[in-house]
Amino acid sequence: MSDHEYTPTSKVGKWFNDRLPLLTLANHLTDYPTPKNLNYWWTFGGILTFCLITQIVTGLTLAMHYIAHADMAFESVEHIMRDVNYGWLIRYIHSNGASMFFLAVYIHIFRSLFYGSYKSPREIIWIIGIIIYLLMMAAAFMGYVLPWGQMSFWGATVITNLFSAIPLVGEGIVTWLWGGYSVDNPTLTRFFTLHYLIPFLILGLVVLHIWALHVPGNNNPVGIDIKKPSKDTVPFHPYIVIKDGFALLMFMIVFAFFVFYSPNILGHADNYIEANPMVTPAHIVPEWYLLPFYAILRSVPDKLLGVVAMLSAILILAVLPWLDTSKIRSAVFRPLYKQFYWILLADVLILGYMGAMPAEGLYLLIARVATAYYFLHFLVILPVLGFKEKTLPVPLSITEPVLGGSPNLATAKHNESFDK
Amino acid sequence: MSDKKPKRREFLFTASYAVGAVGVGAVVWPLVDQMNPDASVKALASTEVDVSSVKPGNTITVLWRGKPVFIRRRTPEEILEAKSVKMEDLKHPEKDEDRAKDPEWLVMLGVCTHLGCVPLNDKGDYDGWFCPCHGSHYDTSGRIRKGPAPLNMEVPKYEFVNANTIKIG
């Protein structure tokens, strides 16, 4: 991985490193050459790592007080809020932490979309990222069920019922997921188990995500290949560490604002009513971060096709590196793509808003148009754009626009091939 | 090496894989099946309900297998409305006679066939039920008329034990 051989200075260090090269790994991570033009949109990887660790630590401590039983779960959560020392703080960090996690992951994903970070040779990084995103949604959904409030119960009912859309075996799968004939205690205990497991799976995938990243190295705002290390790079430590640290502090201010000043604004009041299988809340809404997909589900009038559309909306991202036919990565040099990018962002935000509104009248119509556009973007616009778009000239290096010329010939040659 | 030996080896490999697959399957199945409804869940299979206090036009909701069951004593107008619907107007064609053995009593799972919410009584465009989650409308026979739900609300197995008691399940 590292471009030079590393030898620890101390004798003990050398002895240890010869047997387990952890110090070589640490050295690789510190010296890791990073493009020097990375902007603040690149700090969300570090922020996401922070979010994951926060969720694991607060989750472990909550699990010491929570009781996964249909008769006691709701009360045990109130017990955490009222009796456990700092229980309110830990739970509010955990529940708002989920929202912060998704906020950061959406910025991270849209950063990648803008700068073409998913393109060759970074497809595997991107696909691992999509798997992490899917696992995050599963963990968030199951975590939301654990307090056993009305939204927990009915959210669990609606989402598990999505599987009943599968022909023939659907009903059997739903019964199997529930461990009964409705969402009940067996469902709660297994969701708790899986909710506990998934963060550690995510942690493992994060290691792979970073490993895969360190093979080609970071993409950058200009989106060109650079020689590493060179005048175009800076070592990860201290340059990126400080930048990431500063961004993390800014992020934590937003995080703390939610935790301390409006800890329930992202939740639903209905979840402070204990689960009741006899009454469905008047308006079931998932958490904000799932709303765009919920809007897609509801905009299709057929049960099975609705579920298919919703799942496709997520899975289509996994094949994005092959749907986007343009060789130019960064939207900075793609005048048309840049506009479609912002339209897509607006489209997703509109879908999110429609997902929160009742599925009727004008809302439903707008959601349908937005759903159609979402798929149009990925299946038609992106593939065609790669052939039709006239891209702007790409600089030979990161320093070239400032100083002129490229510090390395390989990059210059590589980029010439794009100009044809 | 002669021709015979690799064949023998291939056979042994295939046989080993096959035995291994059976072994893995035998271990995996209990791990999967433990998630299916257990004996205590299955034991709660039937419920008896006293319906003597239900007046025409009223619905009671009882819990059976963790799910709500609607028991509605229908008015003559509702029965007439349910019977007068043409089969071709229905998304999931079922005759009212087949859904309510005694036309006065409609017994069905109060579970929307879309994604499992509990529909609301006396609501919707067809004087029956309306599901608030995703907007499915059901008629006075609990049949789907409008919205994303694919099927009519399910009629469970039930019987009148005597004039006042219904046994569900």
pLDDT exceeds cutoff 50 at A2? no
Asked if A178 contacts B66 with a C-beta cutoff of 8 angstroms, the reply is no
**Residue A420 or B34, more confident:** B34
Helix (H, G, I), strand (E, B) or coil at A83: coil
Beta-carbon-side half-sphere exposure of residue A261 (alpha carbons within 13 Å): 6
pLDDT exceeds cutoff 60 at A24? yes
CA distance B163 to chain A (A): 26
Under DSSP, the state recorded for A324 is -
- Position A3 scores a pLDDT of 46
Interface test with B, best of A164, A299, A303 (most B CBs within 10 A): A303
Q: Across residues A259-263, what is the average pLDDT? A: 97
Q: Across residues A390-406, what is the average pLDDT? A: 79
**Residue B79 or B2, more confident:** B79
Asked if B138 contacts B153 with a C-beta cutoff of 8 angstroms, the reply is yes
Active site residues of B: 134
C-alpha A303/C-alpha A300 separation (Å) is: 8
- pLDDT mean across residues, chain B: 89
- Position B7 scores a pLDDT of 86
Cβ–Cβ gap A302/B114 under 8 Å? no
Any idea what the Cα angle at residue A413 is, between residues A408 and A416, rounded to 5°? 130
pTM: predicted TM-score of the whole model, two decimal places: 0.88
What single string gives the DSSP state of each residue in A356-400?
HS-SSHHHHHHHHHHHHHHHHIIIIIHHHHHHH--PPPPPSSSSH
What single string gives the DSSP state of each residue in A219-284?
--TT-----SSSTTEEEIIIIIHHHHHHHHHHHHHHHHHHHHH-TTTTS-GGGGSB--TT---SS-
* B66 and A CB contact within 8 Å: yes
Which tokens hold the place of B119? Answer: 């529909």
Which tokens hold the place of A206? Answer: 């994060």
Any idea what the Cα angle at residue A35 is, between residues A30 and A41, rounded to 5°? 95
* B63 and A CB contact within 8 Å: yes
The closest alpha carbon to A223, from A127, A331, A122, belongs to: A331
C-alpha B134/C-alpha A302 separation (Å) is: 12
**Residue A249 or B83, more confident:** A249
Nearest Cα residue in chain B from A190: B35
Which stretch of A203-207, A358-362, B14-18, B122-126 has the lowest confidence by average pLDDT?
A: A358-362
Tokens 């090496």 locate to B1
End-to-end alpha-carbon separation of chain B, Å?
69
- Closest partner residue to A181 (CB to CB) among B67, B133, B150 is B67
Question: Chain B contacts of A160, Cβ < 8 Å?
Answer: 116
C-alpha A75/C-alpha A82 separation (Å) is: 10
C-alpha A217/C-alpha A2 separation (Å) is: 11
Q: Across residues B126-140, what is the average pLDDT? A: 88
Interface test with A, best of B40, B64, B133, B137 (most A CBs within 10 A): B133
Question: Chain A contacts of B147, Cβ < 8 Å?
Answer: 301
Tell me which residues of chain B, numbers 15 to 54, contact chain A at a CB-CB cutoff of 8 Å. 32, 35-38, 41
Question: Chain B contacts of A181, Cβ < 8 Å?
Answer: 37, 41, 65-67
For residue A413, give the H/E element and its range: helix A409-419
pLDDT exceeds cutoff 80 at A37? yes
C-alpha B138/C-alpha B108 separation (Å) is: 12
- Position A409 scores a pLDDT of 52
Asked if A162 contacts A293 with a C-beta cutoff of 8 angstroms, the reply is no
Cβ–Cβ gap A179/B150 under 8 Å? no
The closest alpha carbon to A321, from A372, A382, A392, belongs to: A382
- Position A411 scores a pLDDT of 52
C-alpha A238/C-alpha A321 separation (Å) is: 32
Task: Give the Cβ contact number of residue A120 at 10 Å.
Answer: 11
* B103 and A CB contact within 8 Å: no
- Position A415 scores a pLDDT of 52
- Position A408 scores a pLDDT of 52
B108-117 pLDDT, tens per residue?
A: 999 998 888 8
Q: Across residues A406-418, what is the average pLDDT? A: 53
- Position A51 scores a pLDDT of 98
- Closest partner residue to B63 (CB to CB) among A277, A298, A359 is A277
CA distance A146 to chain B (A): 18
Asked if B111 contacts B118 with a C-beta cutoff of 8 angstroms, the reply is yes
Cβ–Cβ gap A158/B115 under 8 Å? yes
Cβ–Cβ gap A186/B38 under 8 Å? yes
Which tokens hold the place of B117? Answer: 């919410």
- Closest partner residue to B66 (CB to CB) among A176, A180, A304 is A180
pLDDT exceeds cutoff 70 at A40? yes
- pLDDT mean across residues, chain A: 93
- Position A263 scores a pLDDT of 96
- How does residue A412 score in pLDDT terms, banded at 50, 70 and 90? low
pLDDT exceeds cutoff 90 at A361? no
B141-161 pLDDT, tens per residue?
A: 999 998 888 899 999 989 888
- How does residue B88 score in pLDDT terms, banded at 50, 70 and 90? confident
Strands of B105-109's sheet, edge to edge?
A: B59-64, B67-73, B105-109
B38-53 pLDDT, tens per residue?
A: 998 888 778 888 988 8
Which tokens hold the place of A161? Answer: 């019922």
- Position A420 scores a pLDDT of 45
Cβ–Cβ gap A302/B41 under 8 Å? no
Asked if A323 contacts A382 with a C-beta cutoff of 8 angstroms, the reply is yes
Beta strands in A83-211 (DSSP E): none
Question: Chain A contacts of B133, Cβ < 8 Å?
Answer: 154, 158, 280, 284
Asked if A175 contacts A301 with a C-beta cutoff of 8 angstroms, the reply is no
A303-351 pLDDT, tens per residue?
A: 899 999 999 999 999 999 999 999 999 999 999 999 999 999 999 999 9
Cβ–Cβ gap B115/A179 under 8 Å? no
- How does residue A45 score in pLDDT terms, banded at 50, 70 and 90? very high
The closest alpha carbon to A146, from A98, A180, A212, belongs to: A98
Q: Across residues A31-49, what is the average pLDDT? A: 96
For residue B62, give the H/E element and its range: strand B59-64
Interface test with A, best of B44, B115, B146 (most A CBs within 10 A): B115
Cβ–Cβ gap B148/A181 under 8 Å? no
Which stretch of A133-142, A221-230, A279-288 has the lowest confidence by average pLDDT?
A: A279-288
The residue type of B120 is L
Helix (H, G, I), strand (E, B) or coil at A320: helix
Burial class (CB in 10 A: 0-12, 13-18, 19+), B2: exposed
- Position A278 scores a pLDDT of 87
Question: Chain A contacts of B148, Cβ < 8 Å?
Answer: 298, 300-303, 306
The closest alpha carbon to A391, from A213, A223, A260, belongs to: A223
- Position A257 scores a pLDDT of 98
Which tokens hold the place of A44? Answer: 């969300």
- Position B3 scores a pLDDT of 59
Asked if B130 contacts B137 with a C-beta cutoff of 8 angstroms, the reply is yes
C-alpha A139/C-alpha A136 separation (Å) is: 5
- The percentage of residues in chain B with a pLDDT greater than 70, rounded to a whole number, is 96
pLDDT exceeds cutoff 60 at B1? no
